[in-house]
Amino acid sequence: MLNIYIVRHGQDEDNAKLILNGHRDKSLTTLGKKQAQELAHTSKKLKVDFSAAYASPLKRAQETATVITKELKLKKAKVLAGLIERDFGIMTGKPYSDIIPLCAPRLVLTAGVNYFLNPYGAETFPQLLIRAKKVLAEIKKSYKSGNILLVTHGDMGKMLFAAYYHLDWLKAIKMFYLKNSDALLLSPGLNPKQAYIAK
């Protein structure tokens, strides 16, 4: 059986300043490094034996993956370009507070975060879902069983979840908020409501 663990990176400098990062390439904060360490310790306690680890090319995901792989004595995570965060287009680098004034009415408002749908230059969620399906197909082609770790980002993590469980993108983003260093387990033995791993 193939189990795919999706991890969102720890807090980075943009997250701490409430800045929309997208493809901006900032490092983890001290808190972000601590979050990654705690996640690694949890994985160790659960005795999850990872066959391989992959990470987005952005620093915040790379640094999170490095903390986890070192703690678990795994080989360095391989870079998987498809795991990069959604391109936020003109919203890149904007404060969170700009989402509603600049993107309304094309928004999805949830308890955890407000999702903008199609500002100029941004990847749409349907486009992101297609990319997520390609990533999963690549992983499933390479591995038939075992536990695979994918360190990625909030929006991309949600679309990997949607792609795996054959959910509509809109339904998926409303189900839960993927916080820094949160994890999802994509497994044939689970239903979508069981995929979110609470801290």
Tens digit of pLDDT for each residue in 5-23? 999 999 999 999 999 999 9
> Which of these is catalytic: 63, 85, 123, 153?
85
Question: Of 9, 63, 123, 153, which residue is the catalytic one?
Answer: 9
- The structural domain count of the chain equals 1
Residues belonging to the binding site are 8-15, 60
Structure tokens that stand for 85 in this block: 């965060």
Evaluate if residue 172 carries a pLDDT over 80.
yes
Q: Which pLDDT does position 198 carry in this prediction?
A: 56
Token pair listed for 80: 């998987």
Q: 3-class DSSP state for residue 43?
A: helix
Q: What percent of the chain has pLDDT over 90?
A: 89
- The residue-averaged pLDDT of 22-26 equals 97
Q: Using one digit for the tens of pLDDT, what is the confidence trace for 98-144?
A: 999 999 999 999 988 999 999 999 999 999 999 999 999 999 999 99
Confidence of residue 193 (pLDDT cuts 50, 70, 90): confident
85 is catalytic: yes
Chain mean position to CA 71: 20
Q: Which of 179, 41, 194 is nearest to 113 (CA)?
A: 179
Alpha helices in 47-89 (DSSP H): 59-71
Per-residue pLDDT band at 194 (split at 50, 70, 90): confident
As a whole number, mean pLDDT of residues 150-164 equals 97
Which residues sit opposite 185 in a β-bridge? 5
The fraction of the chain above a pLDDT of 70, given in percent, is 99
- Where residue 190 sits, what CATH number does that domain have? 3.40.50.1240
- The per-residue pLDDT for 111 is 85
**Domain extent for 71:** 2-197
SS3 state of residue 78: strand
Chain mean position to CA 47 = 22
Please give the annotated binding residues for substrate, written as ranges. 8-15, 60
Strand partners for 54: 78, 150
What Rg, from alpha-carbon coordinates, does the chain have?
A: 16
